[in-house]
Structure 1
């Protein structure tokens, strides 16, 4: 299997079909395949060789679509960069992955000098934005126009397709290596349910395209010959307008986005009748939001996906008809056709149905491993199963309910935040003696980042001061949104902070510790 095969198939069967729509640009399948072959040729001329990593730091666009195809076409590995990260975080990922070629758009041109300072090995920056190319960068459109097209390298199978950086339990991001087989198997397995998206439909990219969840929907859309419509970034009104204008049939959102859209005062003034499939993930959707969403998107079905980057990312789905059951709406669905799912104890033995343990999965969608981290890879994939770090249970019918996060991760607005990243940043402040970071319920974001801090003797700090201090070290979405000061943190006999005790103050006693 190979990522680019879907483009060849689409061109063979319907070369004149619209492939991408962005701003005032509309391109057919035939136009896209020519541009991809030329962009791949330009990358080869720039020295990109087999297995080289090629990054992109950009908002959503049609050029992002072409990048995801041209890099493997040139025999490289795409490395989408989290647009919400600080230069320090991005610099670390570029440096560790040795990404020497980077695409940037107009939104991130000001960050380039800092990135080069963080990683002097960043040799080539390609401007993929709108307007004139900044000095010192190569212009995307000029490269495409002047390059000689090359044959597809037909990179595929177990060769790495993408390197996706996620948060780390140690406070440093880690690169997840996904193969072509991983990504295509996840897409085809999800599509085989028949309730994911429609062939040759119109797929809207409103979630950030650097995120594995959107790349997964992109991969699925490629298999079905969909038209890809992009908005630069999510705004409620912008997405509503795009759905109406372009007759969108499917899109991927997180519950927070859905809530912002259906609660917008102009939601009902747009024609949303074309919508057939709304895919969402990161957390269950509340009954109240689902009820409002079904009224606004009256023609659409809703599907919840559960997984993680390491699983390419889909492992369970809660299908549309299952949303009618109020109990099942709180679960993550059942294993997709390409995945096996179990709940295990600390010895990796499967536990009885209804008992809480760690959710593990195996299948051809499981990552190749973590970039340059053999020990962490071996631990995560022990016994051939990906250990998700999520605690949950399975009922008698195979439905998976997520109740806790063993990996100490917070999901806020669809983004994963590892507590260690925030704690490491807070600990740099001279007034902080110790701290613990947890997720607490938030009506808009599902969970918010909450810090519990013990100050040094005779030291003083305010919540705003601590939050501002962290801005140099971690992305905005990882910053503490609330801070509590305490005399001491609850500790176990082994000297470990008892975060479950901290969470109890905030979470209802219903067995759940997460949204």
Structure 2
């Protein structure tokens, strides 16, 4: 394995690894009968890269993926990198309001997505955002609202006026020669931008972070080194690819070490245990609530999940405040920052406040976290109505439900006449939180661990 720093583009990286470990399994989905070796994975990456070129995706173009952990996600990540395009990761919790912002702000030229999952109808939400579009057939479009977007590709549906099927997209590779792809590869550099990941900011909407080949390749490599990964390891990845946990700590940590990736399309506690047991996984990613759910599986003991390593010492300076109880358990009691941790998801109050300010009945709003039995914290919106206005909490909950991701939606809506303030007029959120905890009789929940959904 190369020493630090890696000087590869992601395309060079996957080509090198596919030569070092050609017969090692790269990507495995047992329930879909998919078992790609690193050589087969790289061949598929090249095929899809040529299809992207045939669709007129060029170096520097931005392409969004809005999907669960389908096999095509990991392939597209490297295919886009091989032609110098920029992958824009889209949170699967987003609703139409957030999607519209992201597509505009990211200048996405194409979007790849699934039709729907559970209650989220992604394709319908996209069509809602593109309500002014002129559809030209096979997913091609013109939109004044989102002028950069030109193509829609659906992973799990047929070609229609509003979308090109992934199957038909994949066949477009026939129009591009290997030589054309090779020429483009020669123009790419490790310090080119390859990934745009959106993260919540303390003010306003999420910001798109521009990441280079060098950045994320070395990030993944270093993580894999700390985990002592090798080509003998098999990594179960139930965390979402759209997040840096799945994309970098998962895919890139694995690929930089020739490790086998075993993703779950979506998290299911018992399916994780079954996959770890059946496929002899040596690495399991997850957040606290995932692990708690796995430990809570009724018949978990029938699965072989014995491990070789255990974390014994070491601390993460997260900015949280906590205490160690008499049994040696660490309990999160608060945080230095205002950030809310709901079920392991970092939620920034300012983003929710900015959205709620768009409601015509709201004069002012403050968003805080209050203790919760299941998620560690729940979101509370303390709202001041405009003079003469009346409303119910459900009115604002419905407003949020239609427009922002589930993990950002206030669980509590409380109407207030004023907020606790300092002498200089600054709102004291910690005092507001204390008032709300007492008002809602949540004192008994103080000091619970923050876990993840």
Distance 2:374 2:364 in 1: 29
> Is residue 43 of structure 1 aligned with residue 52 of structure 2?
yes
**Offset at residue 459 of structure 1 (A):** 4.6
Alpha-carbon spacing, 1:202–1:35, altered in 2? closer, same or farther (3 Å): same
- Report the alpha carbon displacement of residue 255 of structure 1 after superposing the two structures with TM: 0.9
1:39-78 equivalence runs, <5 A = 39-78=48-87
Evaluate the alpha carbon distance shift between residue 91 and residue 250 of structure 1 in structure 2; reply closer, same or farther with a 3 A threshold: same
The CA distance in 1 between the partners of 2:265 and 2:191, in whole Å, is 32
Decide whether aligned partners of structure 1 residues 176 and 111 sit closer, same or farther in structure 2, where only a CA change above 3 A counts.
Answer: same
**2:168 corresponds to which of 142, 148, 161:** 142
When normalised by structure 1's length, the TM-score is 0.71
**1:346-387 CA distance string (max 9 Å, x none):** xxxxxxxxxxxxx8xxxxxxxxxxxxxxxxxxxxxxxxxxxx
The alpha-carbon distance between structure 1 residues 300 and 176, as it changes in their structure 2 partners (threshold 3 A), is farther
Residues of 1 paired with 2:99 and 2:52: CA distance?
A: 22
Distance verdict in 2 for CA 1:445–1:402, change over 3 Å:
closer
Question: Which residue number in structure 2 is paired with residue 404 of structure 1?
Answer: 335
Q: 1:136 to 1:472 in 2, by over 3 A?
A: closer
| Contact 1:421/1:474 (<8 A) preserved | no
Give the equivalent residue in structure 2 for 1:212. 244
1:211-260 superposed Cα distances (whole Å, 9 cap, x missing partner): 11211121101111112112211122222222223222213211111112
Which aligned segments of 4 or more residues in structure 1 are displaced greater than 6 angstroms?
511-514
Judge conservation of contact 2:382–2:415 (CA < 8 Å) in 1: yes
Runs of at least 5 residues in structure 1 that lack an aligned partner in the other structure: 274-298, 303-319, 323-327, 334-358, 360-389, 394-400
Q: Counterpart of 1:110?
A: 124
Q: Is it true that 1:123 corresponds to 2:155 in the alignment?
A: no
Question: CA offset at residue 184 of structure 1?
Answer: 2.1
Question: How far did residue 172 of structure 1 move?
Answer: 1.5
Question: When the two structures are superposed, what TM-score results if normalisation uses the length of structure 2?
Answer: 0.80
Alignment of 1:302-341 (within 5 A): 320-322=311-313, 331-332=315-316
1:31 equivalent among 28, 37, 40 = 40
**Preserved CA contact (<8 Å) 1:404 1:512:** no
**Does 5-14 or 73-82 show the bigger shift?**
5-14
Write the distance in 1 (CA, Å) between the matches of 2:189 and 2:336: 34
**Relative contact order (C-alpha < 8 Å, sep 6+): which is higher?**
2
Q: 1:425 pairs with 346, 349, 355, which one?
A: 355
Q: 1:43 to 1:402 in 2, by over 3 A?
A: farther
- Is the Cα–Cα contact under 8 Å of residues 379 and 411 in structure 2 kept in the other structure? yes
1:252 aligned residue: 285
Q: Which residue of 1 aligns with 2:264?
A: 231
The answer (yes or no) to whether the contact 1:439–1:514 under 8 Å persists in 2 is no
Alpha carbon RMSD of aligned pairs, Å? 2.9
